[in-house]
Amino acid sequence: MIKQHIKQAVQLLKENRLVSCISIIGTALSIAMVMVVVLLFQIQLSGYYPEYNRDRMLYIQGTEATSKNGTDTNRGGMSAEVVRECFYSLKTPEKVTAIYSENLPISLPNKRLFKEYNVKYTDDGFWSIFNFRFITGKPFEKADFLSGIPKAVITDQTARELFGTTDVLGKNIVINFINYSITGVVKEVSRAARDSYAEAWIPYTTKDQLMNLQYADGISGGFNICILAKHSKDFASIRTELKQQTARYNEGKQLYKVGFAENPISRLDIAMGSEGFRKVDYKDFILETGSLVLFMLLVPALNLIGVTQASIQRRKSEVGLRKAFGATYSKLVSQILYENLVITLLGGALGLLFSFGLLNISKDFLLENNTMINSDMLFQPGTFVATLFFVLLMNFLSAGIPALRIAKQPIVEALKGNE
Contact 198, 120 (CB under 8 A): yes
Strand partners, 73: 66
Say what the pTM is.
0.84
**Quick one: residue 300, left, alpha or beta (phi over 0 = left, psi -120 to 50 = alpha)?**
alpha
pLDDT tens over the chain, length 419 residues: 556 655 665 665 566 677 677 777 878 888 888 888 889 999 999 999 999 999 999 999 989 999 888 788 888 899 999 999 999 999 999 999 999 999 999 999 988 888 899 999 999 999 999 999 999 999 999 999 999 999 999 999 999 999 999 999 999 999 988 999 999 999 999 999 999 999 999 999 999 888 887 778 889 999 999 999 999 999 999 999 999 999 999 999 888 999 999 999 999 999 999 998 999 998 889 888 888 888 877 777 766 666 666 666 666 666 666 666 566 657 767 777 777 777 788 888 888 898 888 888 888 777 877 788 888 888 888 888 888 888 878 777 777 767 666 666 665 555 555 54
What backbone torsions phi and psi does residue 173 show, to the nearest 5 degrees? -125, 160
Contact 350, 24 (CB under 8 A): yes
Q: What is the pLDDT of residue 419?
A: 47
3-class SS of residue 202: strand
Chain centre to alpha carbon of residue 327: 48
Q: What span, in angstroms and rounded, lies between the C-alpha atoms of 319 and 407?
A: 8
How do 151-155 and 178-186 pair as beta strands?
Answer: parallel
Strand partners, 51: 48
Contact 106, 113 (CB under 8 A): yes
What backbone torsions phi and psi does residue 150 show, to the nearest 5 degrees? -75, 90
Q: Print the SS3 string covering 264-314.
A: CEEHHHHHCCCECCECCCHHHHHHHHHHHHHHHHHHHHHHHHHHHHHHHHC
Give how far Cα 391 sits from Cα of 24, 34, 273, 300, 301, Å: 11, 11, 26, 13, 11
Q: What share of the chain is helix, strand, coil (3-state, %, to 5)?
A: 55, 20, 30
In 6-72, DSSP assigns E strands to: 57-60, 63-67
Q: What is the pLDDT of residue 174?
A: 95
Q: What is the pLDDT of residue 70?
A: 77
Enter the DSSP assignment of 111. Answer: B
Q: What is the pLDDT of residue 217?
A: 85
Residue 241: partners with Cβ closer than 8 Å, 6 or more residues away: 90, 91, 92
**Quick one: residue 137, left, alpha or beta (phi over 0 = left, psi -120 to 50 = alpha)?**
left
Dihedral, CA of residue 287, residue 293, residue 299 and residue 303, to nearest 10? -140
